[in-house]
Amino acid sequence: MAPQAHYNTVRAAFEAFRQSEPEPKGELDHVNAYTLLVAVALSAQATDVGVNRATRALFATVDTPQKMLDLGEEGLIGHIKTIGLFRNKAKNVIKLSRILVEEYGGEVPSSRAALQSLPGVGRKTANVVLNMWWRIPAQAVDTHIFRVGNRTGLCPGRDVDAVERAIEDNIPAEYQLHAHHWMILHGRYICKARKPDCGRCIIRDYCAFEEKTA
């Protein structure tokens, strides 16, 4: 784990991210807050590409909690059986859809506590929904962000909660909204786990990783 980088280094790195991609986008397909919530819940231990493939036809007709209840658990399984842990995920999606209908008027709540009270929705899922739909600077720390934060020194921490706090504490406010998307995409395509592509890295000059590749 690299030591926490100085403010000026962190700022320069995130300015480089912003210059390269001013409005980074998440890669999960969705049409509204509800389908975003479902997509993120389905994405645990699965790839965004795999989730998008499974939900393309689903979201074309099922885009509200009530429509999901009408489809039913077995109908949902028919769409998502290519995704890992699909049976458990289907149960949770049906349960959370019922709660949304009965307790929230069919709408997705916009607080972290309310989101996390839903079956299958943890802090990371809640933060993704808050960030992508309501544009709240919530930080959803996944394996990519954990790796990038620790490898570069931009926001190191011993666990995901510590990295989330490091992002909030050390990244300048003007970069907070898009911070987790910049790092996810950077970790997914450049700062990869086994063989980071340092030769194409736009923040190479600000990175504390000592074993840079050519």
Helices (H) and strands (E) in the chain, counts: 10, 0
Residue closest to 153 by CA, chosen among 198, 202, 209, 197: 209
- Cβ neighbours of residue 65 closer than 8 Å, sequence gap 6 or more: 34, 96, 97, 98, 100, 101, 106
Distance in angstroms (rounded) separating the CA atoms of residues 49 and 69: 25
Distance in angstroms (rounded) separating the CA atoms of residues 70 and 99: 14
Distance in angstroms (rounded) separating the CA atoms of residues 145 and 160: 9
Tokens of 186: 């950077």
Q: Please give the positions annotated as active site.
A: 124, 142
